[in-house]
């Protein structure tokens, strides 16, 4: 029986809090076949499209985005949590369940007109991805899509991004939060 990307993802109950089922992609990353399958499938919808940069969302998006950028022979741009990047940055705040968080990108990471693919492991509420899209757009780049390994549809992230006009590609879905 052939395996799917979803088969490589471990579910851990009550992490980081009771009642949460954590979808652990480190088991996917650790398996050479699973990891290659994920990277190939993340790229598939964009075959033949011009992509100038891949932007990865902290932190697992760095692993995936770096591998995707390598396959595309293009540059990689990290979008990080506040205070992690040296030098001049621009910031974008977004809402968490309780409070606010901030994502940052170097102010010279992208040029006007560049076509960017945003990559991360998990799409939940979409707040982090929305902040990443806004940062790229503020630098004049065109975000052509967002690619994720996992979508948690009940949390509404896909709808949120699609309402921004953003195409969303996810390799698998899990029910629940």
- Which positions are annotated as active-site residues? 60, 97
User: Is there a contact between 129 and 106 (Cβ–Cβ < 8 Å)?
Assistant: no
Gyration radius (Cα) of the chain, Å: 16
CA angle (78 as vertex; 25, 24 as ends), nearest 5: 10
CA dist., res. 116 & res. 50, Å (int): 9
CA-CA distances (angstroms) from residue 123 to 89, 114, 134, 174, 175? Answer: 24, 24, 16, 10, 12
Torsion sign across C-alpha atoms 9, 14, 17, 20: positive
CA-CA distances (angstroms) from residue 147 to 7, 84, 160, 174? Answer: 19, 23, 14, 16
């Amino acid at each position: 029986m052939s395996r799917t990307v979803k088969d490589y993802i471990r579910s851990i109950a009550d992490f980081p809090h009771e009642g949460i089922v954590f979808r652990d992609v480190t088991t996917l990353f650790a398996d050479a076949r699973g990891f290659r399958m994920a990277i190939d499938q993340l790229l598939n919808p964009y075959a033949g499209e011009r992509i100038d940069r891949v932007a990865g969302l902290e932190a697992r998006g760095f692993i995936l985005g770096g591998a995707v950028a390598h396959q595309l022979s293009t540059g990689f741009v990290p979008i990080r949590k506040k205070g992690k990047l040296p030098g001049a940055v621009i910031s974008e705040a977004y809402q968490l369940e309780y409070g606010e968080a901030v994502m940052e990108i170097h102010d010279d990471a992208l040029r006007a007109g560049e076509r960017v693919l945003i990559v991360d492991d998990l799409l939940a509420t979409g707040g982090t991805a929305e902040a990443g899209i806004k940062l790229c757009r503020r630098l004049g780049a065109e975000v052509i899509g967002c690619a994720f390994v996992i979508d948690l549809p009940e949390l509404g992230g896909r709808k949120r991004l699609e309402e921004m006009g953003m195409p969303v590609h996810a390799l698998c879905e899990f029910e629940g939060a």
